[in-house]
Structure 1
Amino acid sequence: MALAFCGDEGNSTAYNVDHGVLNNGCFVDALNVVPHVFLLFITFPILFIGWGSQSSKVHIHHSTWLHFPGHNLRWILTFILLFVLVCEIAEGIVSDGVSESRHLHLYMPAGMAFLAAITSVVYYHNIETSNFPKLLIALLFYWTLAFITKTIKFVKFCDNDVGFSQLRFCLTGLLVILYGMLLAVEINVIRVRRYVFFKSPKEVKPPEDLQDLGVRFLQPFVNLLSKGTYWWMNTFIKTAHKKPIDLKTIGKLPIAMRALTNYIHLNEAFEAQKNKRSSLPQGSGSIWRALCCAFGRPLLLSSTFRILADLLGFAGPLCISGIVHNCIFETLGFSFPKMRDI
């Protein structure tokens, strides 16, 4: 079967632009490849040179020492973007399977976008590590171009009466939203850090904890992916496998996580509660209110994740029950009660 970006059928009209270039779906898909190729060509030389590994102006023993505004939101949006792009690749491959020739434009732009999304977050991490935000201007142009080209494709779908009944329409709409949100995050970094278009950029100094060689607990300072997977602990775990560890190897906690700091926060919250409710009787309720005021967000997050972890613990047994019931007993012709019926 012949390979062609727009297909290779004998009577194909894929290359016909009599009604305008933007009214040809294949050329619109080719236009969507441009931003991703731009990002790959711009960022790969910088990544290969290794600019972000260590800045010449920053001498620090840790790999990550600050977060730009919208750090966590950027990582979350990137994870969602990668998932949607995988769905778009799968949809394109399935759609291409019913044609006489290979239509690369159905899934090649999504594949390039997937590579570009991974490159963008690696590139961002290196820039964040080196604290050289001026290089983020490349991502600003990329998100802008990706948002414009994907919007053009979405508008052309609407003009040709492609609605919500088509999966590619829904995926394109989601990608427009995601690229728009990532563009907004990038603009917010410019607004806060003022690294371009402003006369006085905002200088950010590294946290005191990371300048202390004795601090080894890096959870508050690493990126969201490393936080979720505890990737930053790999060095510590490898050391523990080789030899017994001691308190010196474990190191000190960051200032914000020490008992004295937490006591000060709790005491301030408790005194504020006493001043606000001086006329009310004091009791255990005041302690709980002070705890919620001082540590409400961490408590809420930890409780939510604990509940989700407990609920997901039921997924494994239910999946095993379904696999055993459908793949084994039904194949042999036996009936076996499902777990929910027991």
Structure 2
Amino acid sequence: CLVDGLNILPHMVVLPLAVILVAVVGHCRHHDYTRLQSRLWVLFPGHSVRWLTILVLLFVTMSEVGEGVLSDSFTPGHHPHLYVPWIMALLATILGSVFYNLVEKLNRPRMLLILGLYHLLSGGFKVLRLSHLYSRGVSTGSLRFQLTWASVLLYGVLVAVEGYVLYKKRYLSTTPVEVPVPDDLQDEAMRYAQPYASLPAWFSFSWMDWVLLLGYRQPLQAEQLGRLPQVSNM
């Protein structure tokens, strides 16, 4: 119970902090003309690996919630520690994803430090839980043990991705690597921005919402579609 309670700490910290940071980032976005011209993302190193890992982590965390609820239903008494920490983890992961999405869109990698710390703490407490399960003789083949082990690996991957971004962009040094917003994204005439879309936007086709909405309202004209990106960026 104590170990499960400790696992809730990183999620309790990141939730309110991420809400504040998302609000600040959103406010800054509306007051930064240069960034406002960037309609999509300047993708950070490890972008696809991060999003794929987050998707798997969401699935694993939802499985932990389900496993905890089922375990509680078959155990005498009420044991919220079996599922409440993982509900908080699920919410924190979703909110952290939204936060990363905004940070990437604003091209401000220094704000990723909060996510790096969160992933490190979450993974560390998961290791503690894994050790606790092992010391209590929980079978390594049990679902609870396997889900905990999977979470440790996934948080480890996310920490590695944060380290890779830090290495590539050197955003904590005095000479960070600046990645300017591509000219294509600052050109209002360039409407086909698929090469610059984030992985979620690419899969959901949200990068082309504008043309779907416009086509729904009125017949499309060739001049409304704008120009294609530069060949060198395709």
Shorter chain as denominator, the TM-score bin is: over 0.9
Does the aligned pair in 1 maintain the 2:15–2:95 contact within 8 Å? Answer: yes
Q: Which residue of 2 aligns with 1:202?
A: 177
| Structure 1 residues without counterparts, runs of 5 or longer | 1-25, 262-342
1:255-334 matched pairs, under 5 angstroms? 255-256=230-231
Q: Which residue of 2 aligns with 1:184?
A: 160
Does the aligned pair in 1 maintain the 2:126–2:148 contact within 8 Å? Answer: yes
Q: Which residue of 2 aligns with 1:224?
A: 199
Which one of 247, 250, 255 corresponds to residue 225 of structure 2? 250
1:112-123 matched pairs, under 5 angstroms? 112-123=88-99
Amino acid at match of 2:194: Q
Q: 1:131 Cα shift?
A: 1.3
Which one of 226, 229, 238 corresponds to residue 213 of structure 2? 238
Which of the two has higher C-alpha Rg? 1
Q: Which residue of 1 aligns with 2:18?
A: 43
Residues 143-191 of structure 1 show CA distances to partners (whole Å, capped at 9, x for unaligned) of: 1100110011111212222223311000000000000000000111111
Q: Which residue of 2 aligns with 1:56?
A: 32
Q: What CA distance in whole angstroms lies between the structure 2 residues aligned with 1:105 and 1:64?
A: 40
Amino acid at match of 2:169: R
1:139 equivalent in alignment to 2:130? no
Q: What CA distance in whole angstroms lies between the structure 2 residues aligned with 1:102 and 1:253?
A: 59
Higher helix share: 2
Q: 1:65 Cα shift?
A: 3.2
Q: 1:62 Cα shift?
A: 3.9
Q: Secondary structure at the match of 2:137?
A: coil
Q: Normalised by the size of structure 1, how large is the TM-score? A: 0.65
Does the aligned pair in 1 maintain the 2:8–2:85 contact within 8 Å? Answer: yes
Percentage identity across aligned positions? 34
RMSD after superposition? 1.7
Q: Which residue of 1 aligns with 2:72?
A: 96
| Structure 2 residues without counterparts, runs of 5 or longer | none
1:162 equivalent in alignment to 2:145? no
Residues 263-282 of structure 1 show CA distances to partners (whole Å, capped at 9, x for unaligned) of: xxxxxxxxxxxxxxxxxxxx
Q: Normalised by the size of structure 2, how large is the TM-score? A: 0.94
Q: Secondary structure at the match of 1:58?
A: helix
User: Relative contact order (C-alpha < 8 Å, sep 6+): which is higher?
Assistant: 2
Q: Which residue of 2 aligns with 1:83?
A: 59
Residues 186-240 of structure 1 show CA distances to partners (whole Å, capped at 9, x for unaligned) of: 11111111111x2211111111211221111111111101101101212211111
Q: Which residue of 2 aligns with 1:129?
A: 105
Range with greater deviation from structure 2 (47-56 or 181-190): 47-56
